[in-house]
Amino acid sequence: MDGLANSPAARDKAYLVHPMTNLKKHLEIGPTIISHGNGVRVFDDTGKEYIEGMAGLWCTSLGYGEERLINAATDQMRKIAYVQQFRHMSHNSGIDLAEKLVSIAPDGMTKAFFVNSGSEANDSIVKFVRFYQNAKGRPEKKKIIARMKGYHGTTLVAASLSGLPHMHAAFDLPIADVKHTSCPHFYRYGQEGETEEDFATRMADDLEAMILAEGPETVAAFFAEPVMGAGGVIVPPRTYFDKIQAILKKYEVLFVADEVICGFGRTGNMFGSQTYNLQPDFITVAKALSSAYLPIAGVLMREEVFQTIANHAGELGILGHGYTYSGHPVASAVAYETLKIYEEIDIVSRVQSVSKTFIAELTAFESHPLVGETRGVGLVGAIELVTNKSTKDPIDIKGPAPDYLYNRVMEAGLITRPIGNSVAFCPPLIIGHDDIQEMFRRFRKALDETLDFMVRDGNFKA
């Protein structure tokens, strides 16, 4: 086998199945192989430098090469690499993490259950919801409502909760008892003459109508991200969550806040629930919990919910749920150190400071001919691409322009996330003002080149 055939790219195509990827196309174009990183920058195997404008996948909050996290992992491995949490077994790093996490969580959260990914956390919550409703003597109250364009993971249940058609197609999803209510994207779905507050009222009315149609006695829980991430970084319209929560309380529907992306400073508060005044019964955390240095995620729950579950587990003799790697001691140690770093560098104040530059740079794109809307909060945002500002016609995602833009962005030395006709930005939380400006300078160059390409190709007429 010659050197080219034995290259990492060739071996990737020969042996590796990539998630969330056009597999057929991947066999043609191959991978971009990232070899190392430092701070907010990563480098491919040719030495090319990129600003990591997505913090990996919304997750590498402390950037690359954080020695304290590396040391936390190796120190814990030297002590003990694995301890289970089944049948009353425990370990210090898991206890430390649970205590620390609860101490910084939104008011009312008193217990933490650890898993390995946000998908597992949301899957676990659905099981906990069923267990809880059975304990309450309400065996018929099992339906779950999520939102169109919401994202909650890729397991069978979590993908069903996600309101994204490409995650359902050919998988025979969603499963029974999962319903989807309206997407609260005011720019895209607001009606002519409708205020943002009126739109929020209509969204709440849609939810109430669905609950009534299904039967309130059958609806168990509602899942929502404070800011919708993989659906396009959709920021909630004014008064939306106030009105939604009133409906949930009216019909005794449990509220699950999926903080997998929003948690740990991303929205300018420690949790998105604090940014939008949410009072959930469960919270899902992952990603920035360990700055993605090791896989770990968690479920936070209110005391009343925990006590109901604990009492029923006592009656049955066991809580029949958990994972081999629940609260893995090495991952727990890294996550605990991550939370200590957030506290020491005051990550919330840091985000609040640099977010002024981030939002200003983001909104500056609203004058660009290809941009219909910019939206964001804290250090997460998106730019929605259109071919006509007045009619809001979206850019054709099946046409050549999106790939052209993606290639120009990569060529410019920037990693972003295309989401339909939007482009998402979610840099490491340690990014500074200068790197934010440089990130958007590189994106503007790529977007200008794409506009020129579309004009030449006849797909845009300025």
Amino acid type, 324: T
Phi and psi at 432, nearest 5°, equal -105, 175
Q: Looking at the structure, tell me whether residues 151 and 276 fall in a common domain.
A: yes
Q: Is residue 10 part of a domain?
A: no
Measuring CA to CA, how many Å separate 161 from each of 144, 178, 227? 8, 6, 16
Which amino acid makes up residue 413?
G
Task: State the 10-residue block means of pLDDT for the chain, 462 residues long.
Answer: 77 96 95 97 97 98 98 98 95 98 97 98 98 97 98 97 96 97 98 97 98 98 98 98 98 98 98 98 98 98 98 96 97 98 98 98 97 98 96 93 96 97 98 98 98 88 63
Same domain, 219 and 303: yes
Give the closest residue to 150 by CA, choosing from 184, 115, 199, 201.
184
Residue 187 and residue 314 in one domain = yes
130 and 212 in a single domain? The answer is: yes
Alpha helices in 16-114 (DSSP H): 23-29, 55-58, 67-79, 92-104
Are 330 and 294 in contact by the 8 Å Cβ rule? The answer is: yes
Q: What is the pLDDT of residue 458?
A: 80
Residues 353, 331, single domain; the answer is no
The reported pTM is 0.95
Q: In whole angstroms, what is the distance from residue 263 CA to residue 245 CA?
A: 19
Eight-state DSSP code of residue 55: H
Side-chain-side CA neighbours of residue 270 (13 Å): 15
Distance of CA 129 to the CA centre of its chain: 21
Does residue 145 share a domain with residue 264? Answer: yes
Is residue 69 within 8 Å of residue 291, measured between CB atoms?
A: yes
Grouping H, G, I as helix, E, B as strand and the rest as coil, residue 113 is strand
CATH of the domain at 252: 3.40.640.10
Classify residue 14: in a domain, yes or no: no
pLDDT at residue number 1:
41
User: 93 and 165, same structural domain?
Assistant: yes
Residue 12 lies in a domain: no
Q: How many CB atoms lie within 10 A of CB 40?
A: 23
pLDDT of residue 459: 77
Token pair 């390995």: residue: 116
Same domain assignment for residues 228 and 374: no
Q: Domain ends where: 345, 366, 401?
A: 345
d(CA 387, CA 377): 25
Q: How many CB atoms lie within 10 A of CB 283?
A: 31
State residue 109's pLDDT score: 97
Contact 90/328 with Cβ under 8 angstroms? no
Q: Structural domain tally of the chain?
A: 2
| Cβ-contact 164, 230 below 8 angstroms | yes
The DSSP 8-state label assigned to residue 39 in this structure reads B
Domain span including residue 185: 68-345
Q: In 388-402, which positions are buried (b, 16+ CB within 10 angstroms) versus exposed (e)? A: eeeeeebbeeeeebb
Instruction: Please list, in sequence order, all residues whose beta carbon lies within 8 angstroms of the beta carbon of residue 136, skipping any fewer than 6 positions away.
Output: 308
